[in-house]
Amino acid sequence: MLQLNYIRENRDAVIERLAVKNFKDVEIVDALIQLDESRRKIQNESDAIAAEANAAAKQIGDLMRQGKKEEAEVVKSQSSGYKEQVKQLTDKLAEVELALHNKLVLLPNLPHISVPVGFSADDNEVVLEHGEIPTLSEGALQHWDLLTKYDIVDLELGVKVTGAGFPVYKGKGARLQRALINFFLDQAAEAGYAEVQVPIMVNEASAFATGQLPDKEGQMYYVTEDDLYLIPTAEVPVTNMYRDVIVKEEQFPIKHCAYTPCFRREAGSYGAHVRGLNRLHQFDKVEAVQIVHPEKSYAVLEEMSSYVQGLLQKLGLPYRVLRLCGGDMGFASSLTYDMEVYSSAQERWLEVSSVSNFETYQSNRLKVRFKNEEGKMQLAHTLNGSALALPRIVASILENNQTEKGIRIPAVLVPYTGFEYID
């Protein structure tokens, strides 16, 4: 959530940056400024009346102690309306603050100055490409056919048990899943991320704090009777561990990783782009989260990007890094890098990770603060990244490593799988 003081003091710059995200409802900015002026006016008026009421109460007390009861009664009569006036102004202030809040949450985060202008994924900037795209032999299969050939993931059984987008992993497919999860967690531990195991359902306050609400209600599974949401990513519960917490500056950087299943309703139902493991309603992911000093957050973003790239290099997957344009960025992000791996059988790039800096957008909602060197409270910066999401990693491993002998397992995973080939 943007800070109201910043909006008021930087109106034109805010509107300019919102335009990079193709945000059209810029009239909200002026409405917020007007509501804030009303709020401050009401607050000042209420404070003034409260001060007069306090002065009158003191005067009445002094007069009573001096035995001037009649004069005290006159002052009491003159000040009798103060309490009601304060109540009315308090009620009015509450209405204005609610209106302020309801409009403020409609504004997305401001994009970093380096974010390219654009409207869709076609306008994203390719930062770098790494690795050689493998040349597959004639007759190479796409991963959804490989799943069936080797009987490692049963999509139809998932439809029977739950519905489309909920696969059942079997045999070596299940072991490959577990191997990737453990590999990613071990790598995160080596990189200094403290592992946590968190709930996979969160309350409304948690979903609001990290920006899922009110932006992504339609993408989240909602448990109506208990008023809980299934998490779309571990970012939500992990970051909310620090909601309403004042951290110490010497704790930075705070680094956590977590494995969770993730749930998203927007999986879609058409074409090769959503076929097989390309887009699921339930999938596994290891998430990395950092809470850092504001002066270090962009250096940390580059560090997190390099860390995810290191995982892809160890898996031997060709990949590229994209800097997302304004029109393709998330609501709460200030700058996002996407990592995509190349799927040789599908002959296209598949997103496997997003690494984002939210600056103070989440921390303002979370109220995660620290005392700076001057002793003043300051909002921390939050970042997170997929490290990594499994389905498209699995799809790429299967497609890129097809051999006559079977699917070759990346060497770094063999100690976790216990086998070198899926055959």
Contact 216, 366 (CB under 8 A): no
CA angle 240, 306, 317 (to 5 degrees): 110
195 annotated among ligand-binding-site residues: no
287 annotated among ligand-binding-site residues: yes
Nearest CA-CA partner of 79 in 93, 58, 100, 96 = 58
233 annotated among ligand-binding-site residues: yes
Contact 164, 278 (CB under 8 A): no
Q: Which residues pair with 163 in a beta bridge?
A: none
User: Which residues make Cβ contacts (< 8 Å) with residue 369, sequence separation at least 6?
Assistant: 246, 247, 363, 377, 378, 379, 380
Contact 401, 148 (CB under 8 A): no
Q: How far apart are CA 33 and CA 396, in angstroms?
A: 50
- Taking each helix axis from N to C terminus, what angle separates 27-65 and 11-20, rounded to the nearest 10 degrees? 140
243 annotated among ligand-binding-site residues: no
Distance of CA 287 to the CA centre of its chain: 11
Nearest CA-CA partner of 238 in 308, 291, 280, 178 = 291
399 annotated among ligand-binding-site residues: no
Structure tokens at 242: 């620090």
Q: Which residues pair with 230 in a beta bridge?
A: 201
Q: How far apart are CA 126 and CA 111, in angstroms?
A: 18
373 annotated among ligand-binding-site residues: no
DSSP letter string over 107-158? SPPPPPTTPPP-SSGGGPEEEEEESPPPPPPTTPPPHHHHHHHTT-EEHHHH
Burial 164-201 (b: 16+ CB within 10 A, else e): ebbbbbeebbebbbebbbbbbbebbeebebeeeebebb
80 annotated among ligand-binding-site residues: no
223 annotated among ligand-binding-site residues: no
Q: Prior bond to 415 cis, omega within 30?
A: no
353 annotated among ligand-binding-site residues: yes
Q: How far apart are CA 97 and CA 91, in angstroms?
A: 10
End-to-end CA gap in the chain: 51
102 annotated among ligand-binding-site residues: no
Binding site listing for ATP? 264-266, 351-354
Binding site listing for L-serine? 233, 264, 287, 384
Binding site listing? 233, 264-266, 287, 351-354, 384
